[in-house]
Structure 1
């Protein structure tokens, strides 16, 4: 089993480029099914979840090639409409393939998805919305079988602005007669990026980034398109949190600062000096961080749940107490026990976590409990005194491309041991 070894206590210096957004590229790869032609996706990060999505596309019969950060998908030869359990288990967001397969084939079969164990996800929202659009669904033995009976566009009001449900509706609605309007849609930048891809293949989609998204269905789509994935706002935020914790001054380049303004605002509150440009952010850490908050995870444009763990790792070293409230996922405080092994003072009560800052963290043997929890371990390890060993880093590889090389570029003493 691979692990990361970090010799902490070194300030970070230099610049690093943000890669393509994991949470954008996965639904876009799924969406390539719809066109029935060739889609060239640029700025595609080299991640385990991307490999899993490509494996699903190949199982479905698509031809996929990857060269550097460009992935080419030819969905013309697609000849299957099922996804086996072992592929579904590799990626928590694999349910995003349900809408596109239904749009292309009129039927779909898959098991419930895998990935990080963060508690229940609102998959029922996906299924309820698809049923309203005329899809019949049978759930049996952990398997979903769906087929189109009378697909028809309609208004769908989501009880909460689920990113995955919004995406699945958008993707299937391209095949439904009439107009579909998603009310209380997710507003994340990744929704806008998916809209840009769909518009690139000729779909009628508008409103992404607002509360209502409209999709006009059964429009003849273009067979070929190219698309560049937006920058990963969570990767960008993780770099900033790491510098805040370890000290130093870094610049995150090729990013979109407006996408993670809720994070930079809190880092400024903590005493960090930030310079925000059009496509970059420079951060200089203070001698010691101040506590911030309260920090409440919320749907976009609120503070992102995916940045909660890295920020918490930094706040473990802040003067004062920071109160975190996790409003999106259950089981997202599993990293707290690992931080406490390093000397953090954290008290968890349900959705609340009270983080009392300590003078220092001590390197220890810890594990990545999930993707973002693993990022928190890296942040803490960079700031800690002594050596930190992080196991189960396959979680980290799901969402961070060669994380050890990125931080070594910033002067960190970090290596991967196989």
Structure 2
């Protein structure tokens, strides 16, 4: 899949339907099959490639999944298998979460190597292994398979070396699926984690946040529930970014809001103001309030999300601002920056966590590509600032994270065309303007 894009001639106010959060939907879908009941999830971004991959994994395991628009009805009364082969597991990083749940429910689980975005050196299995083995899951590897078996619980309290979202979810899902109790210290408390906690508590578990970053977990998820996936805060950050680029306001309509306080202070320094209403979010641009120098530091929640850093790069690449970026979450998540240099950006790499961007007057068209969702998205947001067509190769990465982004940019007034759209029918309606 490729996207060809360039700037438009006239930009306009636009209204956007806020999509359900991918990072909340994926663990919710996985957790739902360990309730052993029928659950209904609303506001699921079903068009996303990663979501489709996880649904395919459920069906392989013997779960009945019915789709009606953005609503999933999931019947996990019985499981036919406890293994997830590589052709399914490699489609998403979240496939790792199946391991603890399968072991907890079935006594044994086998999962092939996980996929997902390829960046940094901080995406290993170590933290997942720590919580699983301490809470009573015996692990070993055979060829490409990660294999777990239910074993005696070694500890009732585990402290994570870093508040990892994946390892926190792994621990919660394993403990509840195996009906065990435990405490997770230094846990991640991102909104997506809290949403899974809310879902499991509705289904009969007793999970409580103690202090700042400790979860006490007990109870078995024995009840099916109806639950709405919250709005995607990274999609909201993307709307903010292209609102800055077009210097126009936007309205984001949502059914299930999410806390976006982690975004507002950084984007306000770019000239973005946000006014939340009960069913929508108003985004307006005021460049007079933007500063000339800015530090953007990504950190675990409630800090600025690491996924939003590439979006800010694209939004400020022609701003004339001097911006320092530092990522406390992932090292080496900056491979996409060399693609920005092809477009004429001025980027200085300081370390595998830090880089500096000095805004330039204009960008030049080029062929660019990245191997992760947000890097590819940031390149698309850069391409819509070039006067002649730029090509984003490997743009299927964007369809892993966004349901309608090419259409949103078209509605805003940018020139966008999707080629070789493959299996993502939403993108078939995007056009090249002019």
Aligned-pair CA distance for 1:287: 7.9
Indicate the residue corresponding to 1:221 in structure 2: 222
Structure 1 residues 225-250: Cα deviation after superposition (integer angstroms, max 9, x where no partner): 21100100001001101111232221
Change (3 A) 1:172 1:397: same
Structure 2 CA distance, aligned partners of 1:155 and 1:389?
A: 50
For structure 1, the residue ranges without an aligned partner over 5 or more in a row are: none
Calculate the TM-score normalised by the size of structure 1.
Answer: 0.93
- Superposed CA RMSD in Å reads 2.2
Q: Is the 8 A contact 1:88 1:113 kept in 2?
A: yes
Match of 2:383 among 375, 381, 384: 381
Q: Is the 8 A contact 1:181 1:214 kept in 2?
A: yes
Structure 1 residues 172-219: Cα deviation after superposition (integer angstroms, max 9, x where no partner): 1114455311111101000111011112211121228941111113x3
Structure 2 CA distance, aligned partners of 1:162 and 1:326?
A: 14
Change (3 A) 1:258 1:101: closer
Aligned-pair CA distance for 1:299: 0.3
| 3-state DSSP of counterpart to 2:287 | coil
Q: Is the 8 A contact 2:101 2:177 kept in 1?
A: no
Q: Is the 8 A contact 1:257 1:280 kept in 2?
A: no
Say which is worse superposed, 360-369 or 252-261, in terms of deviation: 252-261
Change (3 A) 1:209 1:245: farther
Aligned residues: 415
Aligned-pair CA distance for 1:15: 1.4
Indicate the residue corresponding to 1:132 in structure 2: 134
Change (3 A) 1:228 1:118: same
Indicate the residue corresponding to 1:88 in structure 2: 89
Structure 1 CA distance, aligned partners of 2:221 and 2:237?
A: 39
Indicate the residue corresponding to 1:154 in structure 2: 156
Q: Is the 8 A contact 2:40 2:227 kept in 1?
A: yes
Q: Is the 8 A contact 2:18 2:231 kept in 1?
A: yes
Indicate the residue corresponding to 1:347 in structure 2: 348
Q: Is the 8 A contact 1:255 1:280 kept in 2?
A: no
Q: Is the 8 A contact 2:269 2:289 kept in 1?
A: no
Calculate the TM-score normalised by the size of structure 2.
Answer: 0.90
Q: Is the 8 A contact 2:175 2:182 kept in 1?
A: yes
Indicate the residue corresponding to 2:191 in structure 1: 189
Indicate the residue corresponding to 1:38 in structure 2: 38
Change (3 A) 1:298 1:220: closer
Aligned-pair CA distance for 1:89: 1.1
